[in-house]
Chain A
């Protein structure tokens, strides 16, 4: 049991990193990774929303949609729930922790349409995870996103100071740098299967 959870956590942080090997959430990855503090803020906000969204969508899927044989409405229901959740979270944060709202609040509206959040909730259902496993997987995906953002913000600041041929300036060189980072993450492949062997 514990072993499964560790495996899920490790594989979602390192091996199946959502940004670098599945390309989910690549928009904020490229857009908000210019500075370290922004990258961290966005990463933490995404992790929090992923955890909450998974905690809410799992019961909805198994207690509402499945008994009524409405699995096909998953998409619409999930996006509705996520959008509403993000909105509530923003309101509540603003009320109870203005300082946290100042730090993370600006990133919250960006998260509604973040495909990594919808992706992780749907993937949890596809993979037949239990509730606990879903939560661990959401945590892992969030941490993986945070890790990738933080690492890449360091790379970005070096790119900005480099002399880059005109056609590659801006997005192309960023994508190519991301490709190398992704290549590095491929090195983790196989680690999880063998960690308990």
Chain B
């Protein structure tokens, strides 16, 4: 596959640069909404919609937005699309709306969306940005659903709300609670490392690559005074 071709851009987000498992972006929804398969899938789709729309919009405006003001502009654009998606979910999927609660609003500050805006959509043409949004969105949804399946099946002995009969007496209930989320996520990232034999661009420590604040953060993390 040619690097940079449309197909490459599309598939990159699904596997090679999976936002949740390889780039380690959007940790917050990955952990918080994967208690149930329904919630995780819904969150994935909602984030994907916002991602595609914001990518397209930012890509369209990339030559108009001044460089110094780009982050505030991006945030406002993203917040707008989040509001739209939120209202849609509220109107057509009230159950999902209650499940996701405040996390739906928090898509606004999800690093995946801002990160892709900064790393990709701000520099690439519209079609590619849209494909990138689709790819990243699918990758994110798959990762979330995968985590939710593990957590819901083992933790609650249900799959998307349907009870699994033979597992009823073997619930590991802590998996579906907060600590289980962190544990499963950690194990999944380690698994990705084993499967790819460390070839994936897995960051040594927490990845800030996609974070628009990386520049500030870097200075915060690498102050030398206390080391010497």
Contacts and interface: CB of A to CB of B under 8 A. Distances in A.
A118 B80 contact: no
A119 B226 contact: no
Contacts of A168: 186, 190
Nearest to A22: B32
A46 to B, nearest CB: 13
Question: Does more than half of chain B's interface fall in helix, strand or loop, or is it mixed?
Answer: helix
Interface residues of B, number: 58
A190 interface: no
B81 to A, nearest CB: 10
A107 B216 CA distance: 8
B186 A179 contact: yes
Residue among A32, A37, A179, A180 having the largest count of chain B Cβ atoms under 10 Å:
A179
Interface in B131-187: 174, 177-183, 185-187
Contact of A79 (B28, B101, B109, B191): B109
Contacts of A85: none
B102 A169 contact: no
B217 A31 contact: yes
Interface string B89-101: 0000000000001
Contact of A31 (B87, B206, B212): B206
Contacts of A106: 216, 219-220, 223
B203 interface: yes
A186 B85 CA distance: 33
A23 interface: yes
Contacts, number: 160
A44 to B, nearest CB: 14
B185 A110 contact: no
Given A23-B181, A75-B79, A83-B75, A172 B186 contact: yes
Interface residues of A, number: 54
Interface of B: 24, 27-28, 31-32, 71-72, 75-76, 79-80, 82-83, 86-87, 101-102, 105-106, 108-111, 114, 174, 177-183, 185-187, 189-191, 193-194, 198, 202-208, 211-213, 216-217, 219-221, 223, 226
Given A73-B83, A110-B217, 11 more contacts: A27-B211, A31-B217, A32-B221, A74-B105, A79-B109, A115-B106, A119-B102, A122-B105, A172-B193, A176-B182, A186-B177
17 contacts: A25-B28, A26-B31, A27-B111, A106-B219, A112-B213, A115-B109, A167-B190, A170-B203, A170-B206, A171-B186, A172-B186, A173-B186, A174-B205, A179-B181, A179-B183, A182-B182, A186-B174
